Every structure is written in structure tokens, then in C-alpha cells.
Amino acid sequence: MLDPAQAEELPGGLDPALRSQVAHTTAAALVHHGRANADPDVLARLIALVETEGLDVVAALWSDAPAPTLPGALWRLYVLREWVRRDPDTVADRYRLGVGAAPVHEVVAGVADAAGPADVRAVADAVLSGVYTGDLDVALERAASFCRVLAAGAAFDADHLDVVDPGGAVRLTHGAASLVRTAEELEHAAALWRAGKLE
């Protein structure tokens, strides 16, 4: 891992080609190390990367990476987990709202019936665990399905807010669209991984 002083130098000081190289190298190293190591403590540290290193450090490494790349896919997974970790009540509410509109995605996402905050946290951790211990394409597709259910829930929530808080409804609608876009990006990354082309 980069120390904070090294990470501070990344955002503005590196040319785009070097930033891209750093992103790809760190993402590949993390995935390779995680997949080659059966130590549960290592897995726990990889899952909690944003908590221990900070979102800014991870963002400096991967946030500019295009979606159909390994660092781009990892960035989306870690941001999704961080959202679930910080606001599990809202995520669980949106998930419950969206389940009826996306039953196939509900099954793929693997969240318990009547999902609560602990359930959505467990799924976010399980998805990242799958990156390092299972089939990466399955983990990406599972995260994509999770996003699609959340998008449906956000859309329903926006419909309920339309009369009482039109501005909030618009924000939720944009959020739902962003979740669908993230789902599509994760699905594309999964297909690239299966084809041996996710770098």
C-alpha cells in the first residue's frame, strides 16, 4: 500500500499515462495477492480497504480509471460498499422497495428476504470477498444486480416524493439512473473478465 505522503502526490502531480499505469498496477496487485492468499485476515483487510486507507487514497488510485478496466471496476465496488457501510438503513429501504420490480436481480444479488441494514452490509462484504476468493465475474454481476434493485427502489422512492419534495424526487431519479449505469458498467466488466480482457 502507498503511504499517505505517496498518495498525496498522485492527484495532480502525475501525467495521465503514469496515473493509469499506477491504477492498473495496484488493482492487479491487490486482486492477485488476494486471490493467491487464503489468510482470512488478509481478506478482511482487502474488504476494509477504504476504511483503513481512506476513500481519498483509493480515489486517488482508481477513481479516474475507465469503467471497463480492473481499477475502474474495483473503484465502483468499493464505493458501493462504502455507501452501504455509511448508510445501511437507506440502502436497505431502497432495496426493499425495489425487490418487486427486479425479482431476477434480487436472486442474483443474494440479499435476504425483508432485507435489513445488516443484510445489505453482509452482501456488500460478500461481493468484495468474491473478488478475492471466488469468480470475479460473478462478484461483478452480483454487484450489478444489487445496483439494479437499488435503482428500482430509488425510482419508487422518487415517485413517492414527487408531490411533497419535487427537488428530492429529481435527485433520486438521477441517483437511480446512476445506479443503472453502474450496473451496466459492472456487467460489461464481468463480460470482459470472462473473455480475459479486463485489465
Q: Over the stretch 15-71, which tens digit does the pLDDT of each residue have? A: 788 889 999 999 999 999 999 998 999 999 999 999 999 999 999 999 999 999 999
pLDDT at residue 190 tops 70: yes
pLDDT at residue 177 tops 90: yes
> How high does pLDDT run on average in the chain?
89
Closest CA to 125 of 72, 88, 94: 88
pLDDT band at 100 (very low <50, low <70, confident <90, very high): confident
pLDDT at residue 125 tops 90: yes
CA dihedral angle for residue 170, residue 175, residue 181, residue 183, rounded to 10 degrees: -140
pLDDT band at 10 (very low <50, low <70, confident <90, very high): low
Return the higher-pLDDT residue of 69 and 14: 69
pLDDT at 90: 94
pLDDT band at 3 (very low <50, low <70, confident <90, very high): low
pLDDT at 104: 67
pLDDT at residue 91 tops 90: yes
Please tell me the distance from the alpha carbon of residue 63 to that of residue 166, in angstroms, as a whole number: 31
pLDDT at residue 192 tops 70: yes
Please tell me the distance from the alpha carbon of residue 1 to that of residue 116, in angstroms, as a whole number: 33
Q: What is the DSSP letter of 100?
A: G
pLDDT at 121: 93
CA dihedral angle for residue 167, residue 179, residue 122, residue 70, rounded to 10 degrees: -140
pLDDT at 103: 74
Instruction: Summarize the confidence of residues 149-160 as an average pLDDT.
Output: 91
pLDDT at 17: 85
